[in-house]
A and B are shown apart, each in its own frame.
Chain A
Amino acid sequence: MITLLATWTFGVTLALVALGVFVSYRLFAFPDITTDGSFTLGAVTTTVLLVTGHDPAIATLGGAAAGAAAGACTGLLHAILRIEPLLSGILVTTALSSVNLVVLGRSNVPLAGTATLLNRVEALLLPATTAAGFGAAAGEAARLIVMLSGVGIAVILLWAFFRTNLGTAMRAGGDTATMARALGRNTGLLTVGGLAIANALTALSGALVAQVQGFADVQMGIGMVVWGMASVFLGAALVGPVRLGGALVATVAGSITFRLIVASALRAGLHPDWLKAATALVVLAALIAPRLLSRRAQASAAR
């Protein structure tokens, strides 16, 4: 029970990374490698703020803000210096690996005994989940509820933002830059803003993961961009073509599904060394599955 709930909690928390990748990759067609660095940046910034006695809410927001700054850097490299998207992200994420180490001071800092956002809200919910009969898993259930509501709020805020004038202009610029420019939008600035939002979400995820697992590590962001893409593709494969709100929810569903697949594979005896290879395979499968399915549908329609 506890491990199952923990699996869900992790999947839900990482859904924020998936939402970030949805913004950068789906809305802006920007393959943003900064994700790996900003995830860690969010975790280490929040951890250092927590350890130095700052309020958990402020520490968590600080982590997200640091991620936004990292995303903006990548966007500026691309928009102003005309560096390719992939290379911009690689440059920033490479620089961030030093920044993260300097911020954290060493490669791993535990949060044991430090008040975190998680144990604060957990304490609030614990009586309710205990009463609901979760028993020993009451703490884990409380965490899951916190994360689910957090991600739910993020989805609603993103949906609402991308339907405002500014958000719609961002989506237009990400979709067809010529059109947005012809209508007066500065597409470079819109990309900077979009990447700031994307990496704020990723860093927020890192900040929360550090608090869930009780430590920050400078290596913890490795592979996050692939995780995000896997979730986005898996979500899209699960629901097919939908509008903005549906796509955001599908991305969250993709993240949870992906986490469950990974957990099941490990449980079935997959050696953890093979985890990243398995991840790449899942991404590949999620990418080609819709294509194969639509081809089969076309073939049967033709018959």
Chain B
Amino acid sequence: MLDVRHATVAFSAPGGPLVRAVDDISFTIPAGTFVVVIGTNGSGKSTLLGAIAGTVRLDAGSIHVAGHELTAWRENRRARYIGRVFQDPRAGTAASLSVLENLAVAASRGRPVGLGWATPRRLRAEAAQRLAAIQPGLEQRLDQPIGSMSGGQRQIVALVMATWHRPELLLLDEHTAALDPASADRVVQATAKLVRDQKLTGLMVTHSLEQAAGLGDRLLLVHRGRISLDVEGGAKRRLSTADLAGRFDRLRRADQLDDPAARTLRDLYV
């Protein structure tokens, strides 16, 4: 379960006014619910995700995951409950380590590490089985440096890493945005399968309206640091790509009004 209460993150651009990138946002995601987050550039959705992951400090408000208040915790401590996949596969996997070694680091997520052998036979067998289940063929490449794989394959391994131990919360930060359409499709399918199989609680930021319409139990549209649309259940299922595109158009038109806050946000993010 994720509980965000009155989260506020303020930035001031050099010489500009103070801008609330995240402006008093509150929401709760019950366990087992997978939420898609969309928003225009500079809407605050990435800042919100960063605040939950621990890379951005909250100026006010609090973050609770599975009953633990994490607001003051550092990023690496939050990893005990949170699994993450980054937009850039190079940020979420260590290129010079083999696929198996990357998975070995993930197998100790949020736990203390000692001098035990990192890649025992037991881990190799489990890694092969998990990779084969999600993309047959990957299990043949356990000993290759992960840097030699394609971005799409790396993201699939990154997904397996983030969910090796079922996280209380899975954060996906536009994890298909850096991929070609075919690879992005495979990663989306792998994501959907893992979310379904493990009944994951998650938050997925995406730029893709198809993904936003097709995935998840609930959708949040973030605009100017606030949640401007929150749909779930039947309403979420009925939501089409065209509906979302229409909403985005209206938001963009509203943004063209000469609003200094909107301008600063655009300068900060675009």
User: Is B80 an interface residue when CB atoms closer than 8 A count as contact?
Assistant: yes
Interface residues of A (CB under 8 A from B): 161, 163-169, 171-172, 175-176, 178-187, 243
Contact between B104 and A165, CB atoms less than 8 A apart: yes
| 9 pairs, A vs B, C-beta closer than 8 Å | A165-B108, A165-B116, A175-B96, A176-B90, A176-B91, A182-B84, A183-B106, A184-B76, A184-B111
A184 B79 Cβ-Cβ under 8 A: yes
Contact of B105 with A172 in the complex, beta carbons under 8 Å: yes
- Are B95 and A163 in touch, CB under 8 angstroms? no
Please indicate which of the listed interface residues B92, B94, B101, B111 has the most CB atoms of chain A within 10 Å of its own CB: B94
- The residue that B115 contacts in the complex, of A166, A181, A183, with Cβ under 8 A, is A166
What are the residues of chain B within 8 A of A182 when measuring CB–CB? 53, 75-76, 79, 84, 86, 92, 162
The answer to whether A166 touches B114, judged by C-beta atoms less than 8 angstroms apart, is yes
Measured in the bound complex, the distance between the Cα atoms of B94 and A30 in whole Å is 16
Q: Which of under 10, 10 to 19, 20 to 34, or 35 or more describes the interface residues of B?
A: 35 or more
Question: Could you mark each residue 74-107 of chain B with 1 if its beta carbon is under 8 Å from any beta carbon of chain A, else 0?
Answer: 0111011000101000111111111001101110
Distance in angstroms between the alpha carbons of A169 and B105 in the assembled complex:
6
Flag if A164 contacts B97 (CB, 8 Å): no
Do residues A175 and B118 form an inter-chain contact, with CB atoms below 8 A? Answer: no
* Chain A hits for B269, CB < 8 A: none
**CB-based contact A163/B117 at 8 Å:** yes
Q: Which residues of A contact B94 (CB under 8 A)?
A: 171-172, 175-176, 179-180
A184 touches B116 (CB 8 A): no
**In contact, A187 and B76 (Cβ under 8 angstroms):** yes
Q: Which of B122-167 contact A (CB under 8 A)?
A: 161-162
Q: B113 an interface residue at 8 Å Cβ cutoff?
A: yes
- A192 CB to closest chain B CB, in angstroms? 14
> Counting CB contacts under 8 A, is B119 at the interface?
yes
Further contacts, 19 of them, CB under 8 A, given A175-B96, A184-B110: A164-B114, A164-B115, A164-B117, A165-B104, A165-B116, A165-B118, A168-B105, A171-B97, A175-B95, A176-B94, A178-B92, A180-B94, A181-B79, A182-B75, A182-B79, A183-B105, A183-B108, A184-B111, A187-B76
- Residues of chain B lying within 8 A (CB to CB) of residue A179: 91-94, 102, 105
Interchain CB contact (< 8 A) of B101 among A166, A168, A178, A187 = A168
Q: Which of A165, A171, A178, A243 contacts B114 (CB 8 A)?
A: A165
Contact (Cβ within 8 A) B115 A176: no
Chain A residues, CB < 8 A from B117: 163-165
- Bound CA–CA A181/B86 (angstroms): 12
CB nearest to B54 among chain A residues: A181
Chain B min CB distance to A272 (Å): 38
